Chains A and B, each alone.
Chain A
Amino acid sequence: MDPFSSLETLRSGLDSGEFSSVELAKHYLARINKYNPQLNCFITIPEAEALQQATKADALIAKGNSGVLCGLPMALKDIFLTRGILTTCGSRMLENFIAPYNSTVAEKLAGSGMVCLGKTNMDEFAMGSSNENSHYGAVRNPWNTEYVPGGSSGGSAAAVSAALVPVAAGTDTGGSIRQPAAFCGISGIKPTYGRVSRYGMVAFASSLDQGGAFGRCVQDVALLLSGMGGHDPRDSTSADHDMQDIHALATGDDKGFTLGNKKITIGLPKEYLENLDGAQLQAVYETARNIFETQGVQFREVSLPHTSVAVPTYYVIAGAEASTNLSRYDGVRYGYRCKDPQNLEDLYVRSRTEGFGDEVKRRILTGTYTLSVGYYDAYYVKAQKVRRLIANDFSEVFKDVDLLMTPTTPSHAFKLGQLTKDPVEMYQQDIFTTPASLAGLPCLSVPCGTINGLPLGLQLIAPHFEEALLLKTGYLFQQHSDWHTQYPEPGAL
């Protein structure tokens, strides 16, 4: 069987009895065991549990009462709690944390019969754009192992890219699905804020965190998302918005993905193009535009005037929320606890200082600063106001266009160690992804070319809850391009 198959192909293989779910799981587990030592995509590979789940799925398939996801393998970013299985969030703080309950995402996917083959590596507490901030070592880009896979969901993206799993779940706070999807040459969706429950997903920045899906093609992404999303009463910020249109896409045939007679107009935000680095990237972007234009899609230049302040705004809000979300890691009830604390203060300070990595500490300290007395209004409240202006920019342009198209990142993947010296330069990598995060908008990144043998991504941004339109447009693009069918040279692995 071809590990680069789409879920649809794997589905028919399972349904026709060509292979069982157990065989499928073993097939991918063998690839994981073979390639993971080089790529470091996985922190935990729960083989026994996976084979158990696959056995159960096979029984359901045999009975004929299985759903579309039943028996298909996937991986979960190690930010999703999985009952009875180590959940580290990429941190030393949680190096022994066997989750005592299931995240809603893990529960839903397990409930649909999917088989979790592993917990993927990530930047510690999802803070990073390169996956170099993991306590469990950096993940490498399957296209060229000298390069980063992007972050923070780098393990999930690299695993899908190298076909160690067909699909994987990730999370995106300021670009953590889209940027690694772009760097690894796969498709990734960050849905509307509130689409996917945050319950049991370790919090980084509560008002921005959103679970989403990676796959090689848009249909796979839609299928996984349909299994993850939906209203959850355990998350107060979960959107009470039905998933019908996404389910319809995921479970219907490919005709469901066609836009039909709908004429769509895509906006090109000029502020993003100004930041494009180099002629090669512009050429890639032009090619993408041409593909759409030949399909009758109209383009219009639009303006999102507050784009340039999105990164600072994002870092204030995310840092502030993170600084207090991470206060619970105090060494008292679970997680890393320092040896022989002299007193309570020592217990707190050493457990946190030893348990957190540098980037996490930097963000906690920045967040503590921007929330402290005397600075709160100048930073946090100011950032929330700018956030509204950024969101208003989007609402304005969505009066005129259906979607926006931008590059996902300012360049292709960078080399390991290239940006680790300067956090600000690293933060600037998020320039195209943070604005839509602040506005809570759904975004899709699809592969749109390569430079120097490294993939690039095209970002499509839609109004709230327009994931179906986003996925259909992404599908249209993939119908007329083949970057999503390319994969790393086997020799590179």
Chain B
Amino acid sequence: MAWEVVIGLEIHVQLATRSKIFSGASTRFGEAPNTQACAVDLALPGVLPVLNEQAISHALTFGLAIGAELGKRSSFDRKNYFYPDLPKGYQITQFAHPIVGRGAIELVLEDGEQLTVGITRAHLEEDAGKSLHENMHGLTGIDLNRAGTPLLEIVSEPDMRNAKQAVAYFQKIHALVKYLRICDGNLNEGSMRCDANVSIRKPGEKKLGVRTEIKNLNSFRFLEKAINFEIGRQTEVLENGGSLQQATLLYDADKNETRPMRSKETSEDYRYFPDPDLLPVLISQEIIDTLKSRLPELPEARRQRFEKMPGLSSYDAARLSEDPDIADYFEAVVEQSKLTKLSANWVMGELSALLNRLDLPIEKAPVSAQQLGQLVARISDNTISGNIAKQIFEDLANNPNVAVHIDDIIESQNLGQLNDKNALNDIVEQVIDDNPVQAQQYRDGKIKILAYLVGQVMKQSQGKANPKEVSALLLTKLGSL
């Protein structure tokens, strides 16, 4: 029997702020445990929350980007439950009046199919700390550095019908929040985590099936695998005449399976109520207008603009616009080189391979966009050969020096192509003289030997000769003898 799959996602986005949502402690990742947990984050007696303005701006920016209704009056509630990584015994979140209301996201799937995913709401809340279980000798260790980091929880409608769509949606949100500069998008540091609500039902059925919630998925791949596993599990249960129970699950990547979370066994009564330590936030039209005027170009608009660039395929445009930092880099290369296709090839080819090899983000690229632009320009005007360009690029990658101009490297190392006809003429004649056997073979019709002779000339010229010119000259010389 065929089943219809229904998926909704709750994506938690850590907002890029310097300090926490309700305290002045730093949000920096990877510091020694509890060194960034201040009195407020530790919930010492007497401490009080004060709201970070940047968290509000970031949330509104997201709302504007998805065309959502924005709450004129937004407020914070307490969600009460006990857990060691939640120091106050409640999480400050937005239950009744979220800052971002209904909106939507448009997706273009791999097969070109379009899908609109409704956004139910997005609300601000504080992140919890971390529980550590390894090397704790039977205890659990609590690190509260992350406690109080601002989160935007983006809740989708159950509009996705398979794991691929869910992944495409997650990727789209990932690109969007990076574009908006409201999140660093660093999945392996937990900057974005996602809970997937999965249920299945008979096609045509209006009512949703019993759903399970898979918690804390932090990669596109795990999201896809976890959903597919869960669809399989639910299908099996129902087809064997069993019934499903609403549950909160964890995905175990090593075993590729989901299992119930022990800590969530009893259904909680969270006793939400307005936090009396915080007051309602009023969102003025003025703030909204200011943020609107500061909205950057969004990924879709950029992709369309790239697609119109000379020589760029839609594949090129899509890949180059995926990540705002790559897109910015690419545009800076083009600005320098004035060449779109060759710049695109270098960014997606050499540069991308280099960054992969060094495991670096593009912001830390050892070759600056200006340098790559200069390099591309010099290839294009035949100042240097492609091989020399690669050599310069590698040298710069190994010994980065963003201050140096490519022309200075070419000049100081004398890497310019040998465009002096007389000099080249001399080398070509010398090579023919030194290789009489091969020259004769060519004349006898063994045309392939030409490559060998070109290679010899290139070697003599230390790679600076233009191979096209070399072969043309060789042909003339060999023919004319």
Contact = CB atoms under 8 A, between A and B. Distances in A.
User: Do A and B touch, yes or no (CB under 8 Å, in the complex)?
Assistant: yes
A236 B279 contact: yes
A492 interface: no
Interface in B45-59: 45-51
A234 B48 contact: yes
B346 interface: no
Contacts of B50: 233-236
Interface string A323-339: 01001101011100000
Contacts of A389: none
A327 B82 contact: yes
A371 B80 contact: yes
A376 B273 CA distance: 8
B279 A320 contact: no
A402 B272 CA distance: 39
Contacts of A81: 45-46
Interface stretch (A48-56, A57-65, A198-206): A198-206
Contacts of B142: 332
Interface string A315-355: 00000110010011010111000000000100010000000
A333 B87 CA distance: 8
A234 B47 CA distance: 8
B82 A199 contact: no
Contacts of B277: 203, 206, 236-237
A260 B351 CA distance: 82
A373 B78 CA distance: 14
A334 B44 contact: yes
Contacts of A97: 45
A327 B271 contact: no
A161 interface: no
Interface string B244-275: 00000000000000000000000001011100
B187 interface: no
A327 B88 contact: yes
Contact of A236 (B43, B48, B140): B48
Contacts of A206: 276-277
Contact of B80 (A205, A327, A334): A327
Interface string B83-94: 010011110000
A328 B88 contact: yes
B355 interface: no
Contacts of A321: 276
A233 B24 CA distance: 12
A133 interface: no
A372 interface: yes
B271 A100 contact: no
A207 interface: yes
- DSSP class of A's interface residues: helix, strand, loop or mixed? loop
A328 B276 contact: no
A100 B82 contact: no
Interface string B26-43: 000000000000010011
A234 B48 CA distance: 7
A376 B88 CA distance: 21
Interface string B55-99: 000000000000000000000001010101001111000000000
Nearest to A327: B89
A202 B46 contact: yes
Contacts of B82: 327, 330, 348
Nearest to A347: B84
Interface in A344-385: 344, 348, 368, 371-373, 376, 380
Contacts of A89: 45
Size band of the B side of the interface?
Answer: 20 to 34
A192 interface: no
A203 B88 CA distance: 12
A206 B269 CA distance: 22
A203 B84 contact: no
Contacts of A100: 39, 44
A87 interface: yes
Nearest to B42: A333
Nearest to A206: B276
B278 interface: yes
**Most chain A beta-carbon neighbours within 10 Å: one of B42, B43, B50, B271:** B271
Interface string A85-119: 00101000010010111010000000000000000
B47 A380 contact: no
Contacts of B272: 376
A326 to B, nearest CB: 8
A203 B271 contact: no
Contacts of A205: 276
Contacts of B46: 81, 103, 198-203
Contact of B44 (A101, A348, A368): A101
A237 B78 CA distance: 16
Contact of B89 (A202, A203, A320, A330): A330
A203 B47 CA distance: 8
B325 to A, nearest CB: 36
A320 B272 CA distance: 11
Interface string A105-148: 00000000000000000000000000000000000000000000
**Most chain A beta-carbon neighbours within 10 Å: one of B44, B49, B51, B88:** B44
A222 B349 CA distance: 76
B266 to A, nearest CB: 11
A324 B78 contact: yes
Given A100-B39, A206-B276, A327-B90, 8 more contacts: A101-B39, A198-B48, A236-B277, A324-B273, A327-B89, A333-B44, A372-B271, A373-B269
5 contacts: A94-B45, A201-B46, A236-B278, A327-B90, A380-B273
A-B pairs with the 3 shortest C-beta distances? Answer: A327-B89, A206-B276, A371-B271
